[in-house]
Chain A
C-alpha cells in the first residue's frame, strides 16, 4: 500500500468512527427521552465534542490529500468525505439538541407514552446506517434506496405536529411538553435529511453522478420549524 492509499484509508476510517459516534448519540438521546434518564442525556451532550474534533480532523486530512492533486475516484472520495463528515457532525448536534429537550421533558410528568418518536428514530437510524454501509461497500443501489425513505420520515413528522397541536389546543398546560416533543420530532426529521444527503454523496462517489435536487418536492414548505 502506498502512503497515499494509507492516508485515504485513514480518511475512510475516521468517517466510520464518526458514523458510529453519531448513530450512538442519536440512539442514546432518544433512549434518554424514553427512559427519562438525565444522566444519559448529559452523556450525549458531553460526548459531542468528539464528533466536532473528528470533523476538523477529516478536513485536515482531506486538505493534505488534495495537495497531492488526486484524480478520479480518489478525488471524488475526498470531496464526499468532507461533506459526509459535515453531515455526521450535524447529526451529532441534532442528537445533543434532542438530549437537551429530553432533560426538559423529564422535569414534567409524561404527556403520553412515546410511540411515534421511537418509530421515527428507528427509521432515521436505519437510513443513516444503510447510507454508511453503502459508502463502505461503494454500493450506489443501496444508497439510492435510502432517498425515498426521507419522505416517510417527513410525513411522520407532519403527523406528529398535527397531533401535538391538538394536544396544545386541548389544554394549555400541555404547551411546553408539546413544544419540546415537536422540537425532537423536527430534529429527527433533520437527521433523516442528513442521512439522505449522505446517500446522495455515496451515489456521487460510486457513479460520479450528482443526483442532488433532482427529485420533485411538491410540498417544499414541510413541517413548521421547531419552536
Chain B
C-alpha cells in the first residue's frame, strides 16, 4: 500500500525563498574591502558584498550607520562631496566603477537613483521624463512619446496623468511626484535602481503603490533600497543587509534576517532593543 502514495520529495531549501547570498551565482554589484572617509572620519569600514541581479536588496540600520553612503557609492554620488575618499573595489557588471577614467555620466545612466524627497523638475510631467532622454541625445518626437508613455505605465502613473501630460509636475500629489521620479529614472533604462528611503515621506496608500511598483520593477531592474521601515523591507526585499557604525554586520535572505538573524546586533536592532 505504501507505494500507492509515495512521499513527495521535499525541496532542499526553504520553500519560496531565494538562495542564500553565498549560493548566488550571478551578482551585478560587487564590493570588496570598500572603505569611505569623510575627511578623517571613516564612514564605511571595508565592506565586501555581492548584490544579485533583478532582486530587491534592502539596506537597514540606525541613522549614521553608512547605509546611504554605501548606496551612493554605486553611482558615485559621493563624488559630489569634496572631502570624500574611497578605498577598495566596487564593480558593476564586472567593471570597476571607482577608477578615474570611468565616465560618471554613463555610470549614472546605468545606475539610476530615486531619493527620499521627490524632486521633479519645475516642468511639465512630459518634460520631466523627456528631459533625460533629450540629454542622452533622443530628439525624435515619436520616440519621446513612446518612452514617456512606457515609463509612466512602468511607474503605474499613466492612467492618473495621461490627460494632463503637459501640466506642471509640481501639481501632482507627493505620491504621484515620487512615482514620476521613478518613471524618470526608468525612462533611460538603467540596469540598477537605487532608492534612498523612497516612501518615507508618503502616506500609507502612496507607500503601498510605490512598494507594488518596486515589486513589479524587479522583473526588469536590480533594485537596492535604503529603508528605516523594517516592515517595508520584509514586504518588498529578497535580501537584507544590516549595517552598524560603518560595518556590514549581517547580510542574508530577508526572511532569515527578520525571523532568525544570526548576529546579536541584528536581533537587537530588528526587535527594537538596540542601544
Q: Please list the residues of chain A having a beta carbon within 8 angstroms of any beta carbon in chain B.
A: 2, 4, 69-76, 208
Contact = CB atoms under 8 A, between A and B. Distances in A.
Contacts of A4: 272
B231 A72 contact: no
Given A69-B231, A71-B259, A72-B267, 13 more contacts: A4-B272, A71-B258, A71-B270, A71-B271, A72-B258, A72-B259, A72-B260, A72-B261, A73-B267, A75-B258, A76-B259, A208-B259, A208-B260
Contacts of A73: 267, 271
Contacts of A72: 258-261, 266-267, 270-271
B65 interface: no
Interface in B253-275: 258-261, 266-267, 270-272
Interface in B228-248: 230-231, 234
28 contacts: A2-B272, A4-B272, A69-B230, A69-B231, A70-B271, A71-B230, A71-B234, A71-B258, A71-B259, A71-B270, A71-B271, A72-B258, A72-B259, A72-B260, A72-B261, A72-B266, A72-B267, A72-B270, A72-B271, A73-B267, A73-B271, A74-B271, A75-B258, A75-B259, A76-B259, A76-B260, A208-B259, A208-B260
Interface string B218-235: 000000000000110010
Nearest to A70: B271
Grouping DSSP codes into helix (H, G, I), strand (E, B) and loop, the A interface class, with mixed when no group exceeds half, is helix
Interface residues of B, number: 12
Interface of B: 230-231, 234, 258-261, 266-267, 270-272
Nearest to A209: B260
A68 to B, nearest CB: 9
Contacts of A74: 271
A69 B259 CA distance: 12
A132 to B, nearest CB: 23
B242 to A, nearest CB: 11
Contacts of B270: 71-72
Contacts of B266: 72
Nearest to B267: A72
Nearest to A76: B259
Contacts of B260: 72, 76, 208
A2 B271 CA distance: 12
A104 B219 CA distance: 67
A27 B116 CA distance: 62
A69 B260 CA distance: 15
A190 B249 CA distance: 45
Nearest to A210: B14
Nearest to B14: A210
Nearest to A69: B231
Nearest to B229: A69
B15 to A, nearest CB: 11
Nearest to A75: B259
Query: 5 closest A-B pairs (Cβ-Cβ)?
Result: A208-B260, A71-B270, A71-B258, A69-B231, A72-B270
